[in-house]
């Protein structure tokens, strides 16, 4: 499966969301965020079964430059976590939209997705013209 970044929704905090037909959102961080962080050294992930709320911190990613919190762009129950990512952080730089997914959330409020940025708006934010 190949995820097209142009079809995703984005939080202003650089997390992306793809919602499947089953109402489960796959969440990761954008290529822009990975590029800005550079040299990732650590990642803390949430636990399956945990509830998250939109804009709530669910983990963090650390680079040689900084520690950055990760925020859930949507609300719901975490149904899967990409645990292998913790020991393979290079995957985020190589393939942030497919192999670099972070967690999957069963949406409790599907309408939240429409409040996120589309690709064009997210690109404008990243280029500083938003």
Which residues constitute the domain of residue 30?
5-127
Res 65: pLDDT: 85
pTM of this prediction exceeds 0.85:
yes
As a whole number of angstroms, the distance between CA 113 and CA 107 comes to 9
Question: What CATH code is carried by the domain that includes residue 14?
Answer: 2.40.50.100
Mark out the alpha helices in the chain (DSSP H runs): 31-37, 90-94, 119-127
**Per-position pLDDT tens, the chain of length 130:** 578 999 999 999 999 999 999 999 999 999 999 999 989 999 999 999 999 999 999 999 999 988 999 999 999 999 999 999 999 999 999 999 999 999 999 999 999 999 999 999 999 999 986 5
CB within 8 A of 60, min separation 6: which ones? 42, 43, 44, 67, 68, 69, 70
As a whole number of angstroms, the distance between CA 81 and CA 75 comes to 15
Res 35: pLDDT: 92
Nearest CA to 114 out of 2, 3, 4, 11 is that of 11
Provide the domain count of the chain: 1
As a whole number of angstroms, the distance between CA 88 and CA 85 comes to 5
């Amino acid at each position: 499966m190949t995820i097209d970044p142009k079809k995703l929704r984005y939080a202003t905090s650089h997390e992306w969301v793809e919602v499947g037909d089953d109402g489960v959102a796959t969440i990761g961080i954008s290529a822009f965020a990975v590029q800005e962080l550079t040299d990732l050294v650590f990642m803390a992930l949430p636990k399956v079964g945990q509830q998250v709320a939109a804009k709530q911190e669910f983990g963090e990613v650390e680079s040689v430059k900084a520690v950055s919190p990760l925020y859930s762009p949507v609300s719901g129950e975490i149904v899967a976590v990409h645990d292998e990512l913790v020991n393979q952080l290079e995957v985020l730089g190589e393939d942030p939209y497919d192999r670099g997914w972070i967690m999957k959330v069963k949406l409790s409020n599907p309408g939240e997705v429409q409040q996120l940025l589309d690709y064009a708006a997210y690109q404008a934010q990243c280029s500083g013209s938003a």
